[in-house]
Structure 1
Amino acid sequence: MVADEGHRGRSLIAPGAERNDASARALADAAHLQEFGRDIPSTIDWCVRIGRSAPSAGAGETAVLWDLLAATARRDVAAARVLEPHLDALGILRQAGADRDSDPWRISRIGADEHSSWGVFAAEGAGMRVDAHETDAGWTLTGTKPWCSLATHLSHALVTAFVGDERRLFAVALRGPGVSPHDGPWVARGLPDIVSAPVDFDHAPAAPIGEVGWYLTRPGFAWGAMSVAACWWGGALGLRDALRVAASSERADQVALVHLGRADAALWAARAVLREAADLVDARAGIDQRLLAERVRGAVVHAAGTALGEADAALGPGPLVSDTAYARRVADLHLYLRQHHGLRDAARLGRLVVESEVEA
């Protein structure tokens, strides 16, 4: 359940601020789509349409971007899971200088244009590796890449591949020669239509994006990580909405108000973290962007987990078995949050804190 759609004109990240026109139009368009987030082809088409005018991180519009992502996730978590990597890919291409007015990396060679739908495939897995080779005809990719979300639906992807011992980013046409997406295994109950399975590359033509190592070392890598957190936060707002409805019932008691209050406080604190982080990103402040991203993700995943726990305790099994939209939101958000790696990410944050203090 999504409460009070009349607030579409106000930013979620910056309360009181007007949502920009492009985002407002995008969300109004989404409200009229049948099976938004479940009909994957139509949801991807929506992403492509709004991507042509969507805000981008690090350009004075970071809060606007995160508001759009959060508002999309508040409406449907799966739709945000489709939108975020598409906008991230467009942002990466802009950061590399490959915008619509120029083509320094020759992405038109692989048929990429303003109608392309994008994924970002940068995960690594045991026993899987993609290597890039330069030939007289250009670069090609060979190997298997894990966790490639929506590869059977998208037209293009940005893929990390090894050049020797270092990684470089490449653009690839997913419907081109030498590309074979798997359709599983994918037995997920959350995000069931966002299949994330391996892709096999066999001398697939590719266009390099940025120099060797650029993808992982650019500030935008941290910005993308925080954009995912904005989606988590927006998805969790839908749980607070359900708690608010329950606490407003004539049968509600003090305990219902406690559950709502705890969830609201956690999510409000996470909102403040996102808002300050957006300002720091746009100001290109001296803070280590990796440290900023880990702090933001840690704060947001904690708040989203709190909302899940409070909703579970307050609402019980009823909506999980009788309310399709609520049950989908819970399952989708649970899986999406696993992009945060728990104690491993907390340890990474701790290490960055230690390093930052030593450097200071």
Structure 2
Amino acid sequence: MLQSPAWPASARDVATADVEATAGRHGATPVDRLAVARTLASTTPVITAGTSGAVFATLAAVAAADVATARTVEPHLDALAILAQAGVPAPADATFGVFAAEAPGLRVDATEGGAGVFRLDGTKPWCSLASTLSHALVTAHVGDDRQLFAVDLRQPGVTVHDEAWVARGMPDVPSGPVDLVDVRAVPVGGPGWYLTRPGFAWGGIGVAACWWGGALGLARVLRSLAATRPDSELLQAALGVTVADLADAEDALAAAAARIDGTDDDTDWSFLAQVTRSRVRRAVDTVRERVVRTVGPAPLTADRAVAARVADLELYVLQDHGDRDLARIGRKVLEHGGVAW
């Protein structure tokens, strides 16, 4: 599965075929997917300098098997890494999400209640699998800053709105809002720590690894079709350019992993993460659109796994903000440099 020579040693040690087999299949339940997350958490290191290649390779392999499973596994592994970076122990057998999104008109505020415990009040948007998870890391406003908190989602005061999720992509990974009323929370890092640590950027690249893995699974559909029609130069051409697109995305991920594992303290991690995510998203969008256009309607109407992968992947990459994120790259270059030319 891994072809780029830029991957660091930690990635090459991952048995990606075994990870794919472990990741299950399309149609698994949320509980089944969380079981996969717990299993992989026991064998996958938390992301740090020296392990990012292994984490990215694992996430990509999960997504190559099933995109929705990767969408479940990635935040669980990310949460465990965040807790480790903050020196906060994770409860045994917990399943975690990371609820850090913001939306106009919605806000969660944290109030200190003494003895290191806070209370959270407000509504948090985009809370994936909140009705199935045991815990989540939730960002909340503390004065002018945002701070991260660990929350047991099974306590009174937590109301999950799965009914708000009507997406055709990832329909069984509901990501509706959650209301929090006087909910007990434990701080994870100080104000501003969550967004400014290098691990925030590293986790964002991990999401891009899932996008790439999901596109690999879709490219296999095209490869299988081309194999049944060996005289079709059009299919061969489509497959050839898809190989090139996916190789470009893989090189971006592998180079980022090598930079992280190389412990380059001078790296602008936010800039690296955004450029990597944008490169991967462009390739993934192009591959998805080309595969759909080339294979025609039959797989999308007769093969549930293919139809789900297309819809899941289309939704998943929207975690990248397209032109707004490209504008962020441009602003960084104008303000701080960052490109040799």
- TM band (smaller chain): over 0.9
Deviations 1:120-164 (A, max 9, x none): 000111111100001136211011101100000000000000011
**How does 1:154-193 map onto structure 2 within 5 Å?**
154-193=133-172
Q: 1:284: Cα distance to partner?
A: 2.6
2:335 is matched with 355
Q: 1:306: Cα distance to partner?
A: 1.2
1:228 is matched with 207
Do 1:57 and 1:91's aligned partners in 2 also have CA atoms closer than 8 Å? yes
Identity between Structure 1 and Structure 2 (%): 48
Q: In structure 1, how many angstroms separate the alpha carbons of the residues matched to 2:176 and 2:54?
A: 31
- 1:45 aligns with one of 8, 29, 35: 35
Q: Against the structure 1 CA distance between its residues 22 and 157, is the aligned structure 2 distance closer, same or farther, given a 3 Å change threshold?
A: farther
Q: 1:330: Cα distance to partner?
A: 0.4
> Is 2:319 the partner of 1:339?
yes
1:69 is matched with 59
Deviations 1:181-219 (A, max 9, x none): 112211111101010011111110000000111001000
2:125 is matched with 146
- 1:113 aligns with one of 80, 91, 114: 91
> Is 2:297 the partner of 1:322?
no
Q: In structure 1, how many angstroms separate the alpha carbons of the residues matched to 2:285 and 2:182?
A: 43
Q: Which residues of structure 1 form unaligned runs of 5+? A: 1-9, 100-111
1:144 maps to amino acid: T
- 1:29 aligns with one of 22, 26, 40: 22
Q: In structure 1, how many angstroms separate the alpha carbons of the residues matched to 2:234 and 2:141?
A: 54
1:259 is matched with 238
> Is 2:83 the partner of 1:98?
no
> Is 2:38 the partner of 1:59?
no
Do 1:12 and 1:67's aligned partners in 2 also have CA atoms closer than 8 Å? no
- 2:223 aligns with one of 233, 237, 244: 244
2:36 maps to amino acid: W
Q: In structure 2, how many angstroms separate the alpha carbons of the residues matched to 1:329 and 1:186?
A: 18
Q: Tell me, what secondary structure is at the counterpart of 1:113?
A: coil
Matched length: 336
Q: 1:92: Cα distance to partner?
A: 0.5
2:237 maps to amino acid: V
Q: Tell me, what secondary structure is at the counterpart of 1:149?
A: coil
What TM-score comes out, normalization by structure 2 length?
A: 0.93
Q: 1:49: Cα distance to partner?
A: 2.4
Q: In structure 2, how many angstroms separate the alpha carbons of the residues matched to 1:125 and 1:85?
A: 19
Do 1:37 and 1:77's aligned partners in 2 also have CA atoms closer than 8 Å? no
Q: Against the structure 1 CA distance between its residues 48 and 351, is the aligned structure 2 distance closer, same or farther, given a 3 Å change threshold?
A: same
1:60 maps to amino acid: G
1:51 maps to amino acid: A
What TM-score comes out, normalization by structure 1 length?
A: 0.88
- Cα RMSD of the aligned pairs, angstroms, is 2.2
Q: Against the structure 1 CA distance between its residues 277 and 358, is the aligned structure 2 distance closer, same or farther, given a 3 Å change threshold?
A: closer
Q: Tell me, what secondary structure is at the counterpart of 2:127?
A: strand
- 1:195 aligns with one of 174, 179, 203: 174
Q: Against the structure 1 CA distance between its residues 270 and 22, is the aligned structure 2 distance closer, same or farther, given a 3 Å change threshold?
A: closer
Q: Tell me, what secondary structure is at the counterpart of 2:119?
A: strand
Do 1:13 and 1:66's aligned partners in 2 also have CA atoms closer than 8 Å? no
Do 2:52 and 2:257's aligned partners in 1 also have CA atoms closer than 8 Å? yes
1:219 maps to amino acid: P
Q: Against the structure 1 CA distance between its residues 252 and 165, is the aligned structure 2 distance closer, same or farther, given a 3 Å change threshold?
A: farther
2:286 maps to amino acid: T
Q: Tell me, what secondary structure is at the counterpart of 2:162?
A: coil
Q: Which residues of structure 2 form unaligned runs of 5+? A: none
Q: Against the structure 1 CA distance between its residues 311 and 177, is the aligned structure 2 distance closer, same or farther, given a 3 Å change threshold?
A: same
Q: 1:95: Cα distance to partner?
A: 0.8
Q: 1:36: Cα distance to partner?
A: 5.3
1:174 maps to amino acid: L
Do 2:332 and 2:338's aligned partners in 1 also have CA atoms closer than 8 Å? no
Q: In structure 1, how many angstroms separate the alpha carbons of the residues matched to 2:29 and 2:184?
A: 30
Do 1:58 and 1:282's aligned partners in 2 also have CA atoms closer than 8 Å? yes
Do 2:109 and 2:140's aligned partners in 1 also have CA atoms closer than 8 Å? yes
